[in-house]
Every structure is written in C-alpha cells, then in structure tokens.
Amino acid sequence: MIDQLNELHDDFNRRLADVADMQQLDALKTLFLGKKSPMNDILKGLRNATPEERKTIGMKGNELKQHFIAGIEQGRQDFKTAAINEKIANEWLDVSLDEAPSNIGALHPVSIVQYEIEDIFTSMGFTVLDGPQIETDYYNFEALNIPQDHPARDMQDTFYFENGAILRTHTSAIQVRGMENTKPPFKVIGPGKVFRVERPDATHEAAFHQLEGMVVGEDINVAQLISTMKTLLSEIFKRDVDVRLRPGYFPFVEPGFELDIACQLCSGKGCSVCKNIGWIELMPCGMVHPNVLKAGGIDPEKYSGFAFGLGLDRLVMMRYQIEDIRHFHSGDQRFSGQFS
C-alpha cells in the first residue's frame, strides 16, 4: 500500500504540472480528493491490514491528502496571480503627465490669507467653526440682540428668500451656533462668505468675506482683545502695524469699537482705497453683550467675553496692495494666478 501511495504522489505531481487552467485544476481536485479518488480505493484495503500497518499507512495517507490540498490551493493562487498580472499588462494606463500645464490652478488670495489666519489663531488655542450661508432671522439678527423692529437692521441691507430665510449678512451667526454647542471657557473663530445689498466700489462688494472671533471665559477684558488683535496683525504683516480704536455701535457688543489699521498702500498718507484719510476700517469689536451670551445659553453673571469681526477682503487688499475689491470675484485668472 505504501508503494501505491508513493505512485499516487508522483502521479499527482505530474498531472499538476500539466494543468493549464482553472477548469483543469478543478478536475484534478475531483480526481484526487473526490469520493471516488484512487486514494480512497487504496485505503479501503486497511480493513485487512495489521494495527501497525494501519497506523503507518493512515499517517502516509493523511500526509498525501494534505499534499494534494496544498498543491491545488497553490495552483489556484498561481492562476489568480497570472490573471491579475495579465490584466495589469493589458489594461495599464499611464496617468502621469510629461510636464505640468501652463495654466495650473492656484489658491485665491483670500483663501491664502484665511488659511494663514486660521493657523495663527489655532496656534493661540482657537477652534475653527463653520456655519450655513443661508441663515434664519433668529441666528443672523435676534440672537445677536437685533430684534425685528431694531434700527440696526437698516445698517445691513439684506438678501431675503420668499420663505423668510436670508443670506447671512455677517459670520456672527457662527458665534451663536458655537455658543449653543460649546461650554466656556472657549476661543473660537468662524470664517466665511457673507452677503449684503451693496453698491460696488473699490472697497465694497455684495459678496465678501469675514472672519468672526469670540473669546468667552471668566474675567475677560478689553486689554486681552487689543493684545489678540495686535498679535494677529503682526503675524500677518510680519511687522508691527499701527492700529487705532474708535467708539462704535454694534448691538451685539457693549462697549463696542471700530479697529482701524494704517493704510498699507499709502503708508498712511492717503489714497483712493483709504479715501485719503490714511486709515482703513478693518474690524468691529468689543465686549460681548449679555443678551448675546444669554441667547447662547451662557450665564453673563459668571462669564464675559470679547468678539471681533475681521474683514478678510480688506485685509488681503492691504497685504497684497490690491486697489480694488472687485478683482476678488472677477474670475480673471490673470489676477488670481499671481498668488500661486
């Protein structure tokens, strides 16, 4: 019987070497591992063997069966690998380019500065938030201490939808949503595009970009606000920048300020961008009004905070000495391609 099993081993190896496809491999498996396989016929003779012979022949039979299984499985893997390699060889596609196209895209200058400002603020421990451009009246006005009949609404000519929704007029709405989901103390910023009914000129557009910021905690004061703004501007312009605070009215802060920056195009001498006064209005800011904290679910008796709204477009104009804000939405690749 041992001789018969050895002959079966050699026969399997010869047949396996001649297998040309998966169908022949399956036939080989049926021949050597099926119910009517030669090995089963050989092992039927064990009934007449001695106990010692049964042990020896049984072990040899198990070894041979494992050899059959391993050989067939290896053959199956070889056919699969060959099929994959053939597919790669026949269907391979070179997706590389010989050279970069001349009109390769670039980040918009507003995006460049926005990402840089986000990095600056996150390095100071701020979290970047986002919010919808189509807002409700509540988040855009009422939660910011601007009720329905408040005259401050006249300061922001608004785009309304028929269902009462609006295009947000400022990114301050992001602050309210942030307060609803964040417990103080916290520091957050919310950049994004906003919309107002404006008559376009060199410094005004109907669609523009803002970045709102808010810090809420215990014992927050104006000195911390000024320090934060000075740090931001010195990082953006890579030098100390002259700023000034003027009293300003904004319903969502009290007291409120206007922060101006010395015009970087004319070095404060006066030009068309700064309307010949040497200063550019950059951002409203101030201490968060208690009513706004309440709308965000924060106790104004325990916590205070400061907030600011940064005009990204005007900051970009100062950074790159761009004389007209209307370039930003012109779609002119000659303009945006300069900042790659």
10-32 pLDDT tens trace: 888 888 888 888 888 888 888 88
Nearest one of 146, 193, 202, 186 to 169, comparing CA atoms: 193
User: So what's the pLDDT on residue 30?
Assistant: 87
Query: pLDDT value at position 129?
Result: 94
Instruction: Please give the pLDDT value at position 145.
Output: 86
pLDDT at 3 over 80: no
Long-range contacts made by residues 161-164, C-beta under 8 angstroms, separation at least 24? 161/134, 164/136, 164/137
Say if residue 152's pLDDT is above 70. no
End-to-end CA distance of the chain: 81
Q: Could you report the per-residue pLDDT of 265-323, keeping only the tens digit for each? A: 887 888 877 888 999 887 889 999 999 999 999 999 999 999 998 888 888 888 888 88
Q: The whole model's pTM is what?
A: 0.62
> pLDDT tens across 218-240, in order?
999 999 998 898 888 888 888 88
Q: b or e along 8-28 (b: 16 or more beta carbons within 10 Å of the residue's beta carbon)?
A: beeebeebbeebeeeeebeeb
For the segment 142-159, the average pLDDT, to the nearest whole number, is 79
Q: Which domains does the chain have, with CATH numbers?
A: 2-91 (no CATH), 109-339 (3.30.930.10)
Would you say residue 85 has pLDDT above 70? Answer: yes
User: Which residue blocks in the chain are alpha helix, DSSP H?
Assistant: 2-18, 22-33, 38-43, 51-91, 109-123, 137-140, 172-181, 222-237, 290-295, 312-320, 333-336
The predicted structure's pLDDT at residue 321: 86
What is the overall mean pLDDT for the chain?
A: 86
Q: How high is the pLDDT of residue 36?
A: 79
Q: Among 45-59, 154-168, 198-212, which is the least confidently predicted range? A: 45-59
